[in-house]
Amino acid sequence: MGLTLTEKILKNHLVDGDFVKGNEIGIKIDQTLTQDATGTMAYLEYEAMGVPRVKTERSVAYIDHNTLQSGFENADDHRFIGSVAKKHGIYFSRPGNGICHQVHLERFGVPGKTLIGSDSHTPTGGGIGMIAIGAGGLDVAVAMGGGAYYITYPKIVKVEFTGRLSPWVAAKDVILEVLKILTVKGGVGKVIEYCGEGVKTLSVPERATITNMGAELGATTSIFPSDETTLEFLKAQNRADVWKELKADDDAVYDEEIKINLSEIVPMAACPHSPDNIKTVDEIGPMKIDQVCIGSCTNSSFMDMMKVAYILKGKTVHPDVSLSIAPGSKQVLNMLAQNGALSVMIDAGARILESACGPCIGMGQSPNSKGVSLRTFNRNFEGRSGTKDGQIYLVSPELAAASSIAGVLTDPRTLGDMPEFKLPEKFVINDNMIVPPAPAEEMDSVEILRGPNIKPFPKTSPLDDTIDAICSLKVGDNITTDHIMPAGAKILPLRSNIPAISKHCFTVCDEEFPERALRLGKSIIVGGSNYGQGSSREHAALAPLYLGVKAVLVKSFARIHRANLINAGILPLTFVNESDYDKIGQGDKLILKNVRQDIISGKSELKLINESKNTEIPVLCELSGRTKDIVLAGGLLDYTREQLTKQD
């Protein structure tokens, strides 16, 4: 029996566990990336482990999220990250060099390698045949220190492409079609592996768009084969030497199979407020729009920008529409400037933003009240744009550009014949905004520069013998990490300061939660299905940790957030019977007796007593040997310290 491409790479990197579906396995990590919104905490955690220099083949620290420097906090974080990178063997991509996933694809990604990043859209690297996975910052810190990264051996879904995309239909429409089929929960515990004759018709940037937004499926990652198209892209980046052919065996066996005819896909949009709320452009109709934002790690490649420039040439943005464009990297921006495409965009009335995440993370460009905003981004969660009642639609760059001219949602297929857009034979290569680390012999003399906003990792403690706590908050289904720990220009600068940022925890759902949780001292949160979907931000676990949350009990978890809770030493529990969700109310007193001993003894089904309602509820606490030890120790940082002490 042959192997899938996913299995080949995972098996080649296996360092711990049995290679059996459903088992926890540890894999060697070749590369890591961080961005500045998660990076400061990741590097504080790395420092706490006491490993002098990273042990990965390549680790890169990017500055792309908190680039709006309205106070000292962001600039201080950038300075701190740059000094840590120089001292500990990490490459530093300076502000303005571009979005981490776009730059990593261009300059560092290698087919067949493993990559984890403290950003949920790290699977972008799957576009060139990497196993690239989003993770919490602490997991990334451990990998930089030479530790394995642990995942559940995933189910593997084969998505077979046939045909080719029709003119003006985009890769964004492809991933919207996949989301329509699988939903935001359909990829949990799975890797999406793309294959078939249709794959050959997709460029690397198009593949990267699809793997990038695969994060919205809840998937562990997504991956394309490494083929002649991959080689063509790497040659153009002057990196042909890292290429190798990678594909699944012809007789590989998959857990699920989906067939999609690219020729049948039409322009679509993800409607408010979920990436899987998919409708065709025809179904939505000529809706009036207020704003268009083009960019993000999903759709900011040179190819995307050239299509936008073609559509805008000789036109003027509709007077009722604000159009902003953010090229994904300095390389892209520079090439647009050199070939005149940037001038075309400016002439049309576009507002050119720096090469950064910007509006996608709520960092500026919030729409007007109840404004309809078309965005080429990957998430449209309520309030994420910075406008609570903003109506955010996720679309392709082609659809976005056409609509910005018309003032209403416009099918790009009405634009007439589409010219052939080709990758350049050579990209402009200038890595002068990537600072290499100090040589090993100079690392001791490098000073770490800390600003006053940078606070240490929250205090942790071993798991209590018994958890006796109030339900401080009860929430429903599809709670995102944006609900738990909001982003945006006002809150993101506090990512280095857990005491300060915790004041905003869950305020989207309940403005009184932070104060109530602190007053209680310790508490339990209860939630519904797919709890913690969205961003990999570990702050959605660290802020509750600081506020005294001891356990989270839900119907089901999103993968990364559950891992982040374990890393923070917070007990992840699920209902045995989902109907028992209705038996708990906010304010109820909940007790888990002898929980520490039960976990030590390997029990997976625990008994939760709701003292307020005089009921007993069975709950699951499914921990493997390693994750059990992490929770017992009080979190991954404590566990790692213990392991390093044993090695010494």
**Active site positions, annotated:** 64-65, 119, 379, 535, 537
Q: Is the distance from CB of 559 to CB of 529 less than 8 angstroms?
A: no
Cα–chain center distance at 319: 35
Q: Is the peptide bond before 273 cis (omega within 30 degrees of 0)?
A: yes
Distance CA 7, CA 190 (A): 12
Q: Which backbone phi and psi does 637 adopt, to 5 degrees? A: -65, -45
Distance CA 344, CA 64 (A): 25
Q: How far apart are the first and last CA of the chain?
A: 43
- Burial pattern 496-527, b for ≥16 Cβ within 10 A else e, equals bbbebbbbbbbbbebeebbebbeebebbbbbb
Per DSSP, the three-state class of 507 is coil
The pair of structure tokens assigned to 355 is 């090469």
Q: Which backbone phi and psi does 434 adopt, to 5 degrees? A: -110, 115
Distances (CA, A) of 239 to 30, 56, 125, 336, 364: 17, 20, 15, 21, 35
Residues 6+ apart with CB under 8 A from 240: 231, 234
| Residue (of 372, 364, 375) closest to 400 by Cα position | 375
Q: What is the CA radius of gyration of the chain?
A: 24
- Pairing type for strands 467-474 and 589-592 reads antiparallel
The pair of structure tokens assigned to 490 is 């006002």
Q: Is the distance from CB of 296 to CB of 321 less than 8 angstroms?
A: no
Residues 6+ apart with CB under 8 A from 275: 179, 184, 213, 216, 378, 379, 380, 394
Amino acid (1-letter code) at residue 289: I
| Residue (of 637, 617, 573, 563) closest to 599 by Cα position | 573
Q: Is the distance from CB of 472 to CB of 549 less than 8 angstroms?
A: yes
Q: Is the distance from CB of 45 to CB of 30 less than 8 angstroms?
A: no
Distance CA 3, CA 247 (A): 9
Distance CA 162, CA 260 (A): 6
- What is the residue-wise DSSP string for 5-23? HHHHHHHHTEEES---TTS
Amino acid (1-letter code) at residue 112: G
